[in-house]
Structure 1
């Protein structure tokens, strides 16, 4: 004989907590990835990253590395752990790194960064200068190739 219970004395959130832990925690371990926006402002490129709650001077680094603009840092969770274990967190914490390709002519002197109201703004002066299309003239006939070799006599 089997017993069927219509009401079980258990935690009503246990099933939800189990589902959350199984599916959401692996995503949460991926860390914090700030949203970015890149736009052209005349000849400059402007990169904006959403970094609310950070101390920009302490937690963020902006640098040019290998022809890329690299922004990295960390959003720290400084709260104490919730003791009843029933906290749902949608805010991600951890280290982040975003990189953006730059034209070869850009140097570190062309880059400025500011932080206001949770948004990091990086301006790359002259990033779009000289990037316009250049027409290459086409000539008729066979191109002449200069060579140091003399024809054999």
Structure 2
């Protein structure tokens, strides 16, 4: 069954049923930011640059470090995760089984100044931290040039 929201003029809705506006409100509250949410949502990411490199912080609570996959191909860093949950609840008269699948993928283009071999990652308290150092020659302090 496919559910399609009906956007008819208010007068036409009231002629069909006096309860129609109420059902539209319920529909909006459930599907437009309410109780029913899509499972494939990209997590929030902070990218911080310092003189020595970059730090990427990716908020992904509820995952384990084994759920993540981090790939580096040329200068593209891709972070992805797949999570499958199965909840089974059985009682004498009631049986319920729920499945939940969620996944995401985020890709970042890294600058040429990054040291690919020194990238490291750790997952602490629901946040994935990536340390992406710059190559030694790119870490130098800015040079001042005197005017003669």
TM normalised by structure 1 equals 0.56
Alignment correspondent of 1:111: 119
Residue in 2 that maps onto 1:142:
none
The 1-side partners of 2:135 and 2:61 are apart by 27
Alignment-derived partner of residue 146 in structure 2: none
Rg comparison, structure with higher value: 1
Q: Matches of 1:32 and 1:79 in 2, distance apart?
A: 21
Gaps of 5+ in 1: 1-7, 84-91, 135-153
Cα RMSD over matched residues? 3.7
1:31 aligns with 2:55: no
Report the secondary structure of 2:86's partner residue: coil
Which structure 2 segments of 5+ residues have no match?
Answer: 1-17, 95-99, 144-148
SS at match of 1:52: coil
Q: 1:96-135 to 2 correspondence within 5 Å?
A: 96-126=104-134, 130=138
State whether structure 2 residue 117 is matched by structure 1 residue 94.
Answer: no
Distance in 2, Cα, partners of 1:72 & 1:101: 15
Q: Say which structure is richer in helix.
A: 2
Q: Which fold has the larger relative contact order, with Cα–Cα distance below 8 Å and residues 6 or more apart in sequence? A: 1
Cα offset, 1:55, TM superposition: 1.1
Per-residue CA distance 1:32-66 (angstroms, 9 max, x = gap) = 21100011233110000001010111x11112124
- Aligned partners of 2:129, 2:33: CA distance in 1, in Å? 31
1:8-45 CA-to-partner distances (Å, cap 9, x unmatched) read 9x9xx8654422345348x9337121100011233110
Given that 2:83 and 2:103 are in contact with CA atoms closer than 8 Å, whether structure 1 keeps it comes out as yes
> Deviation above 6 Å: which 4+ runs of structure 1?
131-134
The secondary structure found in structure 2 opposite 1:18 is helix
> Does the 8 A contact of 1:50 with 1:120 survive in 2?
yes
- Number of paired residues? 113
